[in-house]
Chains A and B, each alone.
Chain A
Amino acid sequence: EPEVTQTPSHQVTQMGQEVILRCVPISNHLYFYWYRQILGQKVEFLVSFYNNEISEKSEIFDDQFSVERPDGSNFTLKIRSTKLEDSAMYFCASSGVGGRGTEAFFGQGTRLTVV
């Protein structure tokens, strides 16, 4: 069964460092998403990406964040200068046809710890 894969599963980084979280969405999907879940809190939308550009982003997704689809398979989230409050589980998701309620498939997540 096709699945979304994320690497690494756990990343520890020092405050101020740049991190790149990687995702391989399901191959024939068109919409890609990043969400985050701070420990004990709900899952929050960060950004959606379609046709090689951001289609929507949340208030959380400020200039520190960027996304890229550098090739036909990877989808990355970069945090330029990490802060302690960026510590969270980051989930990548993809769906076939966004906006129509098609199921979004989620990866296992990357737990980012900023120290």
Chain B
Amino acid sequence: AQSVTQLDSQVPVFEEAPVELRCNYSSSVSVYLFWYVQYPNQGLQLLLKYLSGSTLVKGINGFEAEFNKSQTSFHLRKPSVHISDTAEYFCAVIISGNTGKLIFGQGTTLQVKP
């Protein structure tokens, strides 16, 4: 069965420091990969996605992620975080060829401190 694992439930970091949020997936077939962000009391907003092509994808708000097929990972990075990046981040996959159902990881809370 397919699954997504976010290795860190909480990541505290100081403002302007770099951050990496880790995501690993398990699937025997090809997948599409996504990162969503959820700000307090809001819905889910797409940060970036990997469908095919270059394994380094850039998203909104200065975030980027790298697809590593051999390690089945899709870690999210930002070189310098802001207070406004404090939110819940979800990694998710769509199994290629299915109905577009997203399978989510547990989420990682990014806490940016001044």
Of the four ranges (under 10, 10 to 19, 20 to 34, 35 or more), the interface on chain B belongs to: 20 to 34
State how many angstroms separate the Cβ of A29 from the closest Cβ of chain B.
Answer: 11
**In the assembly, what is the distance between CA of A103 and CA of B94, in Å?**
10
Tell me which residues across on chain B come within 8 A of A102, comparing CB atoms.
100
How many A-B residue contacts, CB cutoff 8 Å?
Answer: 71
Residue interface bits A79-115, CB-to-B below 8 A is 1, else 0: 0000000000001010101111111111111000000
Please state if A103 and B49 are interface contacts (CB–CB under 8 Å): yes
Residue B114 is within 8 A (CB to CB) of chain A in the complex: no
Interface residues of B in 26-68 (CB under 8 A from A): 32, 34, 36, 42-46, 49, 51
Residues of B within 8 A of A (CB): 32, 34, 36, 42-46, 49, 51, 90, 92, 94, 96-107
Q: Which 9 A-B pairs have the closest CB atoms?
A: A98-B100, A101-B32, A106-B44, A43-B104, A108-B43, A48-B99, A106-B43, A56-B99, A101-B51
